[in-house]
Amino acid sequence: MSLIKKKICLAGDIGVGKTSLIRRYVENLFADDYLTTIGVNISQKKIRCENGQSVLLLIWDVEGFHPRDAVSVNYYTGAAGVIMVADLTRLASIEMIPSMLKAIKKTAPNAESILVGNKTDLVNTAHPGYQSFLGISRGLGLPYYTTSAKNGQNVEKVFQHLTTAMRKETC
């Protein structure tokens, strides 16, 4: 059986933890310092589906979305899956999800998408960020998770969920 390859993109406001989530998923590491991503970094992770089929995930860590500085949407072309990440401590990063999603869907209309509210280790459920993330996710009707790249909570699950959603044609 030939190796199936799938492109997954992480998208979101700057500093929401895209790089950190990938690092946690691929290398199981985390760092507290912040180094912004310019352009894109592509990591790979090979996973095995239940039926034994191997899938190579090409995970695109795309630079943070700047509402004004216009990030190139070309990065999302050809994506089979998109993980939209927001920072639960920052309302602005959550509120930009709908418009960001609209822009990306134009470029990658067939991509499965999933929403992630990251940095749960910093907020409780009463936090306006948490409430707003729930509201927006439910409003959009998309699957969503709250995660922490710092302590690893739900990180694996997000990728698993997305891979299963993409699997229809994969495995």
Per the listing, tokens 């927001």 go with: 86
* Minimum CB distance to Mg ion smaller for 19 or for 55: 19
Tell me the C-alpha distance between 16 and 77, whole Å: 22
Q: Burial-class residue 66 by CB neighbours within 10 Å (0-12, 13-18, 19+).
A: exposed
Asked if residue 65 binds other proteins (CB under 8 A), the reply is no
Element (H, E) at 50: none
User: What are the respective helix, strand and coil percentages of the chain, to the nearest 5?
Assistant: 35, 25, 35
Question: How close are the terminal C-alpha atoms of the chain, in Å?
Answer: 11
3-state secondary structure of 151: coil
Contact, 94 vs 61, CB < 8 A? Answer: no
Site for other proteins in 119-158 (CB under 8 A): 121-129, 131, 135-136, 139
| Binds Mg ion (CB under 5 A): choice among 4, 30, 37, 134 | 37
User: How many residues of this chain interact with other proteins, rule: CB under 8 A?
Assistant: 47
Site for ligand GTP in 96-125 (CB under 6 A): 118-119, 121-122
What is the smallest separation between the CB atom of 55 and other proteins, expressed in angstroms? 12
Site for ligand GTP in 47-86 (CB under 6 A): 63-64
What is the smallest separation between the CB atom of 164 and other proteins, expressed in angstroms? 19
Asked if residue 1 binds other proteins (CB under 8 A), the reply is no
What is the smallest separation between the CB atom of 66 and other proteins, expressed in angstroms? 8
Give the residues lining the site for Mg ion (CB under 5 A): 18-19, 37
